Chains A and B, each alone.
Chain A
């Protein structure tokens, strides 16, 4: 084996090891949510942001806090409420006295952190939501004509509660599209509940360690983008995304019947990047069709827009995605 070959295999191996350690460390605190942890880590490495949907008390905040601690990153949390203003998130200029004079000084908002938890994002007004979403896509904020770059990695994890929809401002489709994944946090099973009780109601509280650091995360992000994939596999992903468009010839019966619009090219990008991360996580050097199938639901479910009939029948996007994945031929 040549030196270059050995080097690349070592790189992938260390990537896999680091990622496993990161998941294991998070797993010390977060029990029974392995898929969610994996999804969040994929978003972090894919350079995207995650939208978590789940009822209160399932450990969403704890997950983000734990993630920040394990990668030795700064963390901030914003609880979204209807009276929250954009300046409360991005920061504002305040007057300070200095050497007898007065001057404006920029007071940074909670968005200036590596990991930001936007709790119950749908409770804030669209104006405030868009301030955050703009920062998410640009990686910078502008206050009084002055642009401030956000520190990298910058990762937003927004949550929303599927219950109590009264008085909320649901995110429009165009803004939902900015999220890399939408992850649905399910209620833990019986065994997981036992473990949660054991860990949180006794003195035996697990201690977290920083298993990696920000710089390493950025390196891992670079490696992800280098992972190759065969043309036929990329073609499969393209056909899966096309099948979500009801007017396309690849569309399945359910998508024709219940969908108004399908996923955007951003959805396809998310699928491919996430599949690359999964390939590395599994210790492989290239993407497989199974990787596409594994990540497609999280990447597509918030990007499918149901039509009136779909809404009226209470159809879930996951059901349509499952049918698409089953119906789309591998080649």
Chain B
């Protein structure tokens, strides 16, 4: 039985080790506390010298400092030390394979086991542990070490001792410079020169050396610091910041002007886009700019410029990843500001308006343009109508009809707005009521299951309500809706002005009639301008929708950026090497690593197998730097294998009403070597299919990102350099 086994030998070892551990801990604690005590002594001594406290108080503080050291030692030594852990420490140092710690664990009263054999084995393990004490080396397990804080503590003691010995300085203070903070920076950066006892009257600061220097801008001057701006064209290299005040030199502090792109001087936590990622982001930005130019969407161009600026800042190590993502989110928010949340609703409104206007011969063209969503033409038609009114080309009957139609349409729009608003309010009220009901039901629920179910439904409804309210808010802020509202007001005013002269036709004042017509014409021009605004906003949104995939890629690329300070081992999986190897192979050159890819090593395979005449070379030599003219003898590849287990299936097509479909035959790459088709065509075919699949299938964004990056890398334009050189 375990009780009968004498484990005192193990316990003695543990006690000895524990004493040594506590001694070491006490030493560590005392040394750490010594720093604190030294600071206390220094502060109280200085205060006593300044006359702020009594000398007696300073003496008491010295006593307290001693007590702090003692307390530090005691508190550190008193920490709990588990027997098993101490025993394991001895096991480790003595190579005892956990014999002592296991013996300690098994000797505990709660470690008993019901099975006889297991119990016997536990007893045997304890005896084995006792036998192993002869080999235990406690000194090796608990060596005495110099406390980690010893240097700091000694430094503090020596400094204080010196401070106590030296008489307090009573000489008047002289102005002097301490250091530049930071003591390096790129051209255009701001720096602060720390100083003491400067005159409050600002002086001048120069950058360079005593022999050759130039004045720089002083941003702020206080007795303790000078803020300066390094000139944008400052030369890179070591320099000095020379300070002059009241015609006298106050000295100089060293300052190094560094290259903005030198990552050694970038912020530790700044974002790092590797060259490959950066090239990818730049390619997307170029696409954004092209589309912005083509579709004439200045906001998108602005957005691209803003991103370019952010990339520049990232490259110069000025911003962190969080800042980059935050700035990207803000830029996106600005781009989407005042966007229309429900484009179909606006389109329908315009179409209804067009339908009504198309009924009248005077506004037929305008109505048709609106019905066809051709807002550019609608704008022109409104301008034409305004011109006709201005030049008095409309008959009184036509004017009358125009007035009535515009009035009718304006009222129709207002009515529709009121109906929409009413519908929205009803929906909101209904949801609010449902939320209240569910809250009550959840409170009265009889079982936990019921409550959980009701709370889930309640959350759903709350989300629905919030969504509805947000949509309403967006609608209120929508540029398009505001323009439509103004359009309606303009039409209403135009109608009002047109109807006035009709009523006063029998009146005497003809000038008043002319003025009314002019005002109606002006209102129609205003309406034309508002239509133009709606058109512009719709184009902007349509372009943004088209570019949504690129925006996703941008976000993903930014998310994947790393921090410079936390990159860990540089390129642990040799990504850069793999990328360059891939690019090299894609150009048809032999891989530097020899065996990594078959096509680069066999004759007659792949594009760029040597230069023309050695197209069928041995393949062991360096590949050429351009496309070869030779090709695989078996251009068509092997015939289709017929041995596979195939199953014929008749597929019956069904005529649908979803629009036309395209038929396309995908030509697979040949089994050996590249297909004899043009690379660009093959690329375009495959990329189209891949884009389609990624759009229709649910895939994680990181997977999509990999696929997109792959296609970006094998894009014909990426492979062009080899061709260009030729």
A228 contacts which of B97, B106, B127, B706 (Cβ < 8 Å)?
B106
Contact A8 to B121, CB < 8 A, known contacts A284-B97, A331-B88 = yes
Interface of B is mostly: helix
CB distance from B217 to the nearest CB of A (A): 46
B125 within 8 A of A: yes
Contact A8 to B85, CB < 8 A, known contacts A230-B101, A284-B97 = no
Nearest B residue to A9 via CB reads B124
A308 contacts which of B118, B573, B703 (Cβ < 8 Å)?
B703
CB distance from A306 to the nearest CB of B (A): 13
A331 & B117 in contact (Cβ 8 Å cutoff): no
B98 & A228 in contact (Cβ 8 Å cutoff): no
- For chain A residues 1-43, which have a beta carbon within 8 Å of chain B? 1, 4-5, 7-9, 12
Nearest A residue to B120 via CB reads A8
Nearest A residue to B574 via CB reads A313
A290 within 8 A of B: yes
Q: Which residues of B contact A232 (CB under 8 A)?
A: 84, 88, 101, 105
Contact A230 to B85, CB < 8 A, known contacts A4-B120, A286-B125 = no
Nearest B residue to A229 via CB reads B102
Using an 8 Å CB-CB cutoff, how does the interface string of B111-130 with A read, 1 for contact, 0 for none?
Answer: 10101011011111101100
CB distance from B133 to the nearest CB of A (A): 16
A8 & B124 in contact (Cβ 8 Å cutoff): yes
Q: Which residues of B contact A308 (CB under 8 A)?
A: 702-703, 706
Q: Which residues of A contact B355 (CB under 8 A)?
A: none
A183 to B595, CA, bound (A): 27
Q: Which residues of A contact B84 (CB under 8 A)?
A: 230, 232, 331
A47 to B10, CA, bound (A): 36
B125 & A284 in contact (Cβ 8 Å cutoff): yes
CB distance from B706 to the nearest CB of A (A): 7
A285 within 8 A of B: yes
Q: Which residues of A contact B113 (CB under 8 A)?
A: 228
CB distance from A283 to the nearest CB of B (A): 9
B590 within 8 A of A: no
A228 & B573 in contact (Cβ 8 Å cutoff): no
Q: Which residues of A contact B525 (CB under 8 A)?
A: none
B115 contacts which of A1, A12, A226, A313 (Cβ < 8 Å)?
A226
A286 & B102 in contact (Cβ 8 Å cutoff): yes
Q: Which residues of B contact A287 (CB under 8 A)?
A: 98, 102
B706 & A312 in contact (Cβ 8 Å cutoff): yes
Q: Which residues of A contact B97 (CB under 8 A)?
A: 282, 284, 288, 290
B99 contacts which of A1, A9, A228, A284 (Cβ < 8 Å)?
A284
Using an 8 Å CB-CB cutoff, how does the interface string of B77-102 with A read, 1 for contact, 0 for none?
Answer: 00000101100100100000111011
Instruction: Classify chain A's interface size.
Output: 20 to 34
Contact A228 to B122, CB < 8 A, known contacts A5-B127, A284-B99 = yes
A284 to B99, CA, bound (A): 8
- For chain B residues 672-720, which have a beta carbon within 8 Å of chain A? 702-703, 706
A233 within 8 A of B: yes
Q: Which residues of A contact B85 (CB under 8 A)?
A: 331
Q: Which residues of B contact A7 (CB under 8 A)?
A: 120
- For chain B residues 364-393, which have a beta carbon within 8 Å of chain A? none
A5 & B120 in contact (Cβ 8 Å cutoff): yes
A9 to B111, CA, bound (A): 20
B88 & A228 in contact (Cβ 8 Å cutoff): no
Using an 8 Å CB-CB cutoff, how does the interface string of A300-327 with B read, 1 for contact, 0 for none?
Answer: 0000000010001110000000000000
Using an 8 Å CB-CB cutoff, how does the interface string of A152-163 with B read, 1 for contact, 0 for none?
Answer: 000000000000
CB distance from B458 to the nearest CB of A (A): 29
A223 to B127, CA, bound (A): 19
A223 & B117 in contact (Cβ 8 Å cutoff): yes
CB distance from A242 to the nearest CB of B (A): 21
A145 within 8 A of B: no
Using an 8 Å CB-CB cutoff, how does the interface string of B528-565 with A read, 1 for contact, 0 for none?
Answer: 00000000000000000000000000000000000000
A331 to B98, CA, bound (A): 13
Q: Which residues of B contact A231 (CB under 8 A)?
A: 105, 111
B106 & A286 in contact (Cβ 8 Å cutoff): yes
B117 & A284 in contact (Cβ 8 Å cutoff): no
A277 to B124, CA, bound (A): 16
B105 & A230 in contact (Cβ 8 Å cutoff): yes
Most buried by A among B113, B123, B702: B123
CB distance from B560 to the nearest CB of A (A): 11
Contact A12 to B127, CB < 8 A, known contacts A232-B105, A290-B98, A331-B84 = no
Q: Which residues of B contact A331 (CB under 8 A)?
A: 82, 84-85, 88
Contact A226 to B118, CB < 8 A, known contacts A289-B98, A331-B84 = yes
B101 & A228 in contact (Cβ 8 Å cutoff): no
B573 & A285 in contact (Cβ 8 Å cutoff): no
Q: Which residues of A contact B702 (CB under 8 A)?
A: 308
A1 to B128, CA, bound (A): 12
A231 to B127, CA, bound (A): 19
B128 & A233 in contact (Cβ 8 Å cutoff): no
A223 to B118, CA, bound (A): 9
A233 to B100, CA, bound (A): 13
CB distance from B366 to the nearest CB of A (A): 56
B123 & A233 in contact (Cβ 8 Å cutoff): no
Q: Which residues of A contact B573 (CB under 8 A)?
A: 313-314
Q: Which residues of A contact B115 (CB under 8 A)?
A: 226
A286 to B105, CA, bound (A): 11
A84 within 8 A of B: no
A7 to B703, CA, bound (A): 62
A285 & B121 in contact (Cβ 8 Å cutoff): yes
A58 within 8 A of B: no
A330 to B102, CA, bound (A): 13
CB distance from A220 to the nearest CB of B (A): 13
Nearest B residue to A1 via CB reads B127
CB distance from B672 to the nearest CB of A (A): 16
CB distance from A188 to the nearest CB of B (A): 23
A196 within 8 A of B: no
Contact A288 to B121, CB < 8 A, known contacts A331-B84, A331-B85 = no
A85 within 8 A of B: no
Q: Which residues of B contact A282 (CB under 8 A)?
A: 97
Sample of 18 A–B contacts (CB below 8 Å): A8-B117, A9-B124, A226-B118, A228-B122, A230-B98, A230-B101, A230-B105, A230-B106, A230-B111, A285-B122, A286-B125, A287-B98, A288-B97, A288-B99, A313-B573, A331-B84, A331-B85, A331-B88
Please give the residue numbers on chain A whose beta carbons come within 8 Å of chain B beta carbons, in ascending order.
1, 4-5, 7-9, 12, 223, 226-233, 282, 284-290, 308, 312-314, 330-331
- Known contacts A5-B120, A12-B121, A284-B99; 6 additional CB pairs below 8 A are A223-B117, A229-B102, A282-B97, A284-B97, A286-B122, A313-B573
Q: Which 7 A-B residue pairs are closest in the complex by CB-CB distance?
A: A230-B105, A288-B98, A285-B125, A8-B120, A286-B125, A285-B124, A288-B97
